[in-house]
Amino acid sequence: MKVRLAIIALALVFGQNVFAQTCPDMQFNSSASVWDNAVSGPNLIPISADTPNGNFTICNHAGVQFGLRIDERYVGPITPTAGTGDYVAPMGDNGDGSALWNITGHLDFGYAYGSGVSPDELGDTTTIMQYDCDPFIGSVDGPTIDLSSNLIGLVVPSTTVLFQITDNIGFALRCPDFDPTADGSYEFSATIQDSNGAIIAETYATAIVGSPVAPPPVASRSVPTLSQWSLILMAMLLGMVAVIGLRRKTR
């Protein structure tokens, strides 16, 4: 138990350094403004699966509600560690190389939250989702996806006001080297920028699988000692003598 708590603490420290939270209204273990796969209408892309609402790490800011969470597949949302966006996710292969957990997102531009406040649709912003394929704590390496242009083959219309999705980094085109049976800390972030590039909302969610570790230190180059330098110089001199001898023989 103490080891797991230490891992969560490390993930929180590293994660908050990587994903700077500029949202003044961040809410943990919270519910989305609407979460219903039966919702239909123009400019709406509701969640396709029938999963419960709740357990999101949500940013409510500037008329936008933006949330991420980690779900256990075929079970439901995982409860995050109190006061954080860290979710302890199950380890294992779903049978096709994908994980037993999903990253799930919710974005409301005024459908059920902040109605009448600008921005009022996806096309008014640049909305970026950062995936993480690197299992080390605090080390993020994965595709960065602009939701307004492409989402792993899915084009989201610029007039969208409600967008919800669940995804898996083990699916095709996400993380080719992902190992669902290995320890890892996968740190996802999502950011909304206005037309001037200023961040107006951002959120994050970290999937903690097993017992992840921090990246290994970069190996430092060792400086040769005096005795090593003498051997190097001696080898160079011997090489020069051998070259001179060969030149004399060939004359």
Q: What is the C-alpha separation between 107 and 94, in angstroms, rounded?
A: 27
Rounded Cα–Cα distance for residues 209 and 237 (Å): 56
pLDDT, residue 11, reads 41
Question: Is this model's pTM higher than 0.85 or not?
Answer: no
Handedness of CA 32, 26, 154, 193 (dihedral sign): positive
Q: How far is CA 116 from CA 11, 59, 200, 202, in A?
A: 37, 18, 16, 20
C-alpha 13/C-alpha 104 separation (Å) is 22
The amino acid that residue 210 corresponds to is G
The reported pLDDT for the residue numbered 200 is 85
Cβ atoms of 63 and 39 within 8 Å: the answer is: no
How many CB atoms are located within 10 Å of the residue 169 CB? Answer: 23
Which helix or strand (DSSP H or E) is residue 11 part of?
helix 2-18
What is the per-residue pLDDT for 71?
97
| pLDDT reported for residue 164 | 92
Per-residue pLDDT of the chain (251 residues; tens, 9 = 90+): 433 433 333 344 444 433 344 688 899 999 999 999 888 888 888 988 888 999 999 999 888 899 999 999 999 999 999 999 999 999 999 999 999 999 999 999 888 876 656 667 788 888 888 999 999 998 888 888 887 665 566 667 888 889 998 999 999 878 999 999 999 999 999 999 888 888 888 999 999 999 999 888 766 455 666 666 666 677 677 767 665 665 565 55
Q: What is the pLDDT of residue 152?
A: 60
Amino acid at 34: V
